[in-house]
Amino acid sequence: MITLFKNASLYSPLSEGKKDVLVAGKTIIAIKDHIDAPAGLDVEVVECNGKRLIPGLIDAHVHITGGGGEGGPGTRMPELEVSMMVDAGVTTVIGCLGTDGITRSVESVLMKVKYLRAKGMSAWMYTGSYQVPTPSITGDFKKDIALFEEVVGVGEIAVSDHRSSVPTTEELAKLAAHARVAGMIGGKAGIVNVHMGDAKDPFRPIHNVVAGSELNYRQFVPTHCNRNDYIFEDAKEYGKKGYVDITTSSYPYYVDEEIKPSVALKQLLDSGVPIKHITFTSDACGSLPGFDPVTGKLIKIEMGLPDSILREIKEAVLDEQIPLEIALQVATSNPADILKLESKGYIAEGKDADLVLIDDDFSIIHVMANGKMVK
């Protein structure tokens, strides 16, 4: 299959001006000011008319087999559907378990990754869950990372949260060190994805690990860093040393507690956090629970959706006046670089053809995943 995108305003994610983009198979093979359709071949020409062509979004924290369950069986969330990705302009997901590493399995996450790949999308996963010691496929999370191509790291490991297993500094340090070495052996990022809870001084467990070991902050990706005002204030300093992940789904449901992601991006940048240290993820198909601060009883639960990422990028551009080529990085090139997804995150020759065509209002016109038009 050969596809030619003509007259696109190209964001690679950097602004490249008006370009033509030629795709053959699953790969971008040429980007030029002008490309003629190859003679004698069946070429689908997509006339972009100056609309913006951006990389397919990477949602690097998704409960692809469903999450939740904090309020009993009736609060379990459904699995991710391919249509949810396509409608959100998301072409790549990183799956994970969360709270429920008890009745949900890492094996089911792996099979869901395989399912999404079979349907033409791109997917990887974290092994493990909130708990330490953490569940795995082989019985050893290190072997999962080293041996399974689909596994990029371990997580979502919970800290600073009443649902965590309260790992000690030594336990967290050993987990991170083992993940790093397993990543080196397997050619993976070996990242530890960390669920950040509502406790005060929430980054303290990571600070303690770094202070007492040879590990550095870039071994961790702490998520939910906009869940309340005090964790976000800490994130403004933490982000100068390591990565901070902003959860996009929860803001409409918890406006009195959450920092709006588009606003959070602006404030992080203004605080001196490098753009390459910031990511947006949706927490899609995970539960977004609210607990009574006194009794600990679940009082509210919602579900995350992947389309929240593009919505918050749009509002970062339109409301916070952040240039599109900056805002796009949080869900394209940044997660690709952090997680060592070599063929993802950029529109460049030799990269996978994951492309999204949007209009001035950020409405999605076309989505291409691995060289196939899916919308």
303 plus 194 within the same structural domain:
yes
Which segments of 107-150 are extended strands (E)? 122-127
Paired tokens of 141:
């999370």
pLDDT for 68: 81
Place of tokens 């990705």: 85
33 plus 136 within the same structural domain:
no
Which segments of 261-304 are extended strands (E)? 278-281, 287-291, 298-303
Residues whose CB falls within 8 Å of the CB of residue 104, separated by 6 or more in sequence, listed in order: 65, 66, 97, 129
Helix (H) or strand (E) holding 177: helix 169-186
98 plus 233 within the same structural domain:
yes
The predicted-structure confidence for 31-53, as pLDDT tens digits, reads as follows 999 999 888 889 999 999 999 99
Would you say 165 and 132 are in contact if contact means Cβ atoms under 8 Å apart?
yes
Would you say 313 and 330 are in contact if contact means Cβ atoms under 8 Å apart?
yes
Q: Is the pLDDT of residue 270 over 90?
A: yes
69 plus 186 within the same structural domain:
yes
Place of tokens 């964001």: 11
Q: State the amino acid at position 361 in one-letter form.
A: D
Which residues face 261 on adjacent strands?
none
254 plus 176 within the same structural domain:
yes
Secondary structure (DSSP) of 65-115:
T--B-TT-GGGBPPPP-HHHHHHHTEEEEEE---S-SSSS-HHHHHHHHHH
What separation in angstroms does the CA of 315 have from each of 72, 256, 311, 321?
35, 19, 6, 9
40 plus 91 within the same structural domain:
no
Burial of 363 (0-12, 13-18, 19+ CB in 10 A): exposed
Would you say 196 and 202 are in contact if contact means Cβ atoms under 8 Å apart?
yes
115 plus 203 within the same structural domain:
yes
Closest CA to 18 of 48, 63, 55, 61: 48
Q: Phi and psi of 299, rounded to 5°?
A: -120, -10
Paired tokens of 336:
């690709």
Interval 10-24 mean pLDDT:
98
Q: How far apart are CA 126 and CA 130, in angstroms?
A: 11
Q: Is the pLDDT of residue 207 over 90?
A: yes
129 plus 26 within the same structural domain:
no
Q: How far apart are CA 195 and CA 180, in angstroms?
A: 18
Place of tokens 């949080």: 330
For the domain that residue 224 is a member of, what is the CATH number? 3.20.20.140
Burial of 138 (0-12, 13-18, 19+ CB in 10 A): middle
pLDDT for 99: 87
Interval 120-126 mean pLDDT:
98
314 plus 349 within the same structural domain:
no
Closest CA to 135 of 127, 145, 126: 127
120 plus 268 within the same structural domain:
yes
Of 20, 283, 307, 354, which is the active-site residue? 283
18 plus 104 within the same structural domain:
no
For the domain that residue 9 is a member of, what is the CATH number? 2.30.40.10
Burial of 325 (0-12, 13-18, 19+ CB in 10 A): middle
Q: Is the pLDDT of residue 131 over 80?
A: yes
The predicted-structure confidence for 293-334, as pLDDT tens digits, reads as follows 777 777 777 788 999 999 999 999 999 999 999 999 999 999
Paired tokens of 216:
């550095």
277 plus 224 within the same structural domain:
yes
Q: Phi and psi of 156, rounded to 5°?
A: -85, 105
pLDDT for 104: 93
pLDDT for 90: 98
Choose between 193 and 73: higher pLDDT. 193
Secondary structure (DSSP) of 255-288:
TTTSPPHHHHHHHHHHTT--GGGEEEE--BTSEE
In the chain, the number of structural domains is 2
286: confidence class by pLDDT, cuts 50, 70, 90? confident
Q: How far apart are CA 299 and CA 316, in angstroms?
A: 31
Q: Is the pLDDT of residue 174 over 80?
A: yes
Place of tokens 């406006």: 255
Would you call 201 a catalytic residue per the annotation? no
Domain that includes residue 49, residue range: 2-54+345-373
Model pTM score: 0.95
